[in-house]
Structure 1
Amino acid sequence: MIVGVGIDVAEIDRFGAALQRTPGMADRLFVERELYLPSGERRGVASLAARFAAKEALAKALGAPAGLLWTDAEVVTEDTGQPRLVVTGTVAARAEALGVTSWHISLSHDAGVASAVVVAEK
């Protein structure tokens, strides 16, 4: 049964400009595994914008309650390239309260826009 669906888009250039303008913003939004590739290279702005859109979509799927921490939702990439959500803390508590047992996530970026869809299911 679907508990919630969220979708969000982020303009890549605008998101990149915000990251440059506010240097600490990336650390408030992302955990280290989201910021860096396994090689140690920092992810590109399009990938980060898609991950940010996923966090926004996740919040919408959970009913957009106040108090969720950005770093309590992590977008990880499987060896296959498929994205997966890992939730902890405030996000995990809200998901548990709603009975969420699984997540479905899709990310995309093209033509200057990053997008994400998240489905919460029980």
Structure 2
Amino acid sequence: MIRGIGVDIVDLARFTRQVERTPGLIPRLFAEGERALSVHSLAARFAAKEALIKALGDSAGTTWQELEIASDSHGNPFFVLHESLRSVMAFRGITSLHVTMTHDAGVACAFVVVEGDS
């Protein structure tokens, strides 16, 4: 059963300016494994993290770095289930997370669906 949905859009030019102006933003928002990605991929991941927070209703119990997004062997994104995220999911009865991301035409966009028991 769907327990929540979230969507977010990030302006790529604005995100790039923020990253250039504030170098500490990358380590504050992204896990070690995400930090070497292109700025457009980081913007898409930022949108996905925001979309997950919206789908959950808040970010209580976890941090930006713990909302890590990786890709499988086919390039499909997924949330890495760090202990804090697993705890949040268990507390809220969430059994699975689905995420899709894209960046094109000056924006990055992400959509998240949260499923759980009825």
* TM norm. shorter chain > 0.5: yes
Q: Which residue identity is paired with 1:27?
A: P
RMSD after superposition: 1.3
Map of 2:95 onto structure 1: 101
Matching residue of 1:39: none
Query: Would the aligned equivalents of 2:61 and 2:88 in 1 still touch at CA under 8 Å?
Result: no
Identity %: 47
SS at match of 1:32: coil
- Which of 103, 109, 120 is the matching residue for 2:114? 120
Shift of 1:119: 0.6
Report the TM-score when normalising by structure 1: 0.88
Q: TM-score, normalised by structure 2?
A: 0.91
Q: Distance in 2 between matches of 1:65 and 1:48?
A: 19
* Alpha carbons of structure 1 residues 67 and 21: separation in structure 2 relative to 1, 3 Å: farther
Cα distance in 2, alignment partners of residues 65 and 84 from structure 1: 18
Amino acid at match of 1:73: L
Q: Does 1:22 align with 2:22?
A: yes
Gaps of 5+ in 2: none
Within 5 Å, which residues of 2 pair with 1:34-49? 34-36=34-36, 43-49=37-43
Inter-partner Cα distance in structure 2 for 1:100 and 1:66: 15
- Point out where structure 1 has 5 or more consecutive residues left out of the alignment: 37-42
**In structure 2, how many angstroms separate the alpha carbons of the residues matched to 1:89 and 1:14?**
32
Q: Alpha-carbon deviations, 1:99-122, whole Å to 9, x = none?
A: 111111100111000000011112
Q: What amino acid maps onto 1:6 in structure 2?
A: G
Across the two proteins, how many residue pairs are aligned to each other? 116
Whether 1:87 aligns to 2:81 is yes
Q: CA–CA distance in 2 between the matches of 1:66 and 1:74? A: 15
1:11 paired to 2:11 = yes
